Structure 1
Amino acid sequence: MALQSTTRSRLIIPALAPVYTSGHEIVETILRVAAGALLVTHGFGKITNPFGAVGMVESLGFYPGVFWSPLLSATEFFGGILVTIGLFTRPASFAAMIVLLVTVYFHGIAQNQGLAGAEKSILWAAIFLFFALRGGNSHSVDARLDRTL
């Protein structure tokens, strides 16, 4: 363990150490805001027509589609807003991760696109897994309220 910590502390450009140590939280915030905002953008079309995906969700085995389609719409649109502002970050990110894991199945298996079709969803699911476990940082509404799940 000592070898690992010694190796980590040896930077090629030691003068950049303050940048690395001070920048991680703002970069994490940028990633959270970008992921949430893109989820909102993706969900906007669905929230304007919440029953538009009834056939698609039923084709994946989610019955009744009139229940799952609006839930999908709300998860993407409102969940994206929550992740963006950092309110209920963990549950909103967890819900988004579940939606994205379903899209991994949809593109990768149901539509037989394999990894090429599922890779973006895998990446997005991993990002939302990170925030489901990590939560919002000090630049979130959760932190301002001094509450987190």
Structure 2
Amino acid sequence: MTDLASGRSRLIVPRLGGLYDRLGESAETLLRVVAGLLLVTHGYGKILNPFGASGMVESLGFYPGAFWSPLLAVTEFFGGILIAIGLLTRPAAFAATIVLLVTVYFHWIVQDQGLGGAEKSILWAAITFYFVIRGANSQSVDARLGRQF
């Protein structure tokens, strides 16, 4: 149910409201840090061999692979770092979202794996898109600088 005066949903267990209020921002920060660090982990191999994915990106129609492969590596590795620390969060998350939507296409259409093959990429894209819209919170470098993109 919604409390019409405040526009907020009423909690089934009202005593949990304070806990939710105190932990909400920390939970959002945890999601951002984990997502960023996992992108770093995923991009680590690519940053060590930035041209290694040239053939794969060209098979998706991104020519020249020598341009797109390093861009992919930078987006995943350095973009992940930026998302994790909350610096330039929106642009880094936007770039990651684009990469992840391409992986949805790759798994679903190119590899013909359907939803089962693309579900992780869909989830990742939804998480990074959340930070495109939301930006970083007060627990971020963006907040410490007092500016967001």
Q: Please give the range of the TM-score, normalised by the shorter of the 2 chains.
A: over 0.9
How many angstroms does 1:10 deviate by?
2.6
State, as a whole percentage, how many aligned pairs show the same letter. Answer: 70
Q: Write the deviation string for residues 98-135 of structure 1: whole angstroms up to 9, x where unpaired.
A: 00000000000000000000000000000000001110
Matches within 5 A, 1:30-69: 30-69=30-69
Which residue does the alignment assign to 2:122?
Answer: 122
Matches within 5 A, 1:106-121: 106-121=106-121
1:77 and 2:44 correspond: no
1-structure distance, mates of 2:3, 2:119: 33
- Amino acid in structure 1 at the alignment position of 2:105: Y
How many angstroms does 1:14 deviate by?
1.4
Q: Any stretches of 5+ residues in structure 2 without a counterpart? A: none
Q: Write the deviation string for residues 39-63 of structure 1: whole angstroms up to 9, x where unpaired.
A: 0000000000000000000000000
Which residue does the alignment assign to 1:93?
Answer: 93
How many angstroms does 1:8 deviate by?
4.5
- Amino acid in structure 1 at the alignment position of 2:2: Q
- The verdict on how the C-alpha distance between 1:9 and 1:101 changes in structure 2, with shifts beyond 3 A counting, is closer
2-structure distance, mates of 1:41, 1:20: 30
Give the structure with the larger helix fraction. Answer: 1
Corresponding residue to 2:3 among 1, 5, 8:
5
Alpha carbons 2:88, 2:142 under 8 Å: kept: yes
1-structure distance, mates of 2:79, 2:8: 36
Which residue does the alignment assign to 1:105?
Answer: 105
2-structure distance, mates of 1:10, 1:135: 27
SS of the counterpart of 2:3?
A: helix
- Amino acid in structure 2 at the alignment position of 1:109: I
Tell me the TM-score normalised to structure 1 length: 0.95
SS of the counterpart of 1:147?
A: coil
Alpha carbons 2:2, 2:10 under 8 Å: kept: no
Q: Any stretches of 5+ residues in structure 1 without a counterpart? A: none
Q: Write the deviation string for residues 71-120 of structure 1: whole angstroms up to 9, x where unpaired.
A: 00000000000000000000000000000000000000000000000000
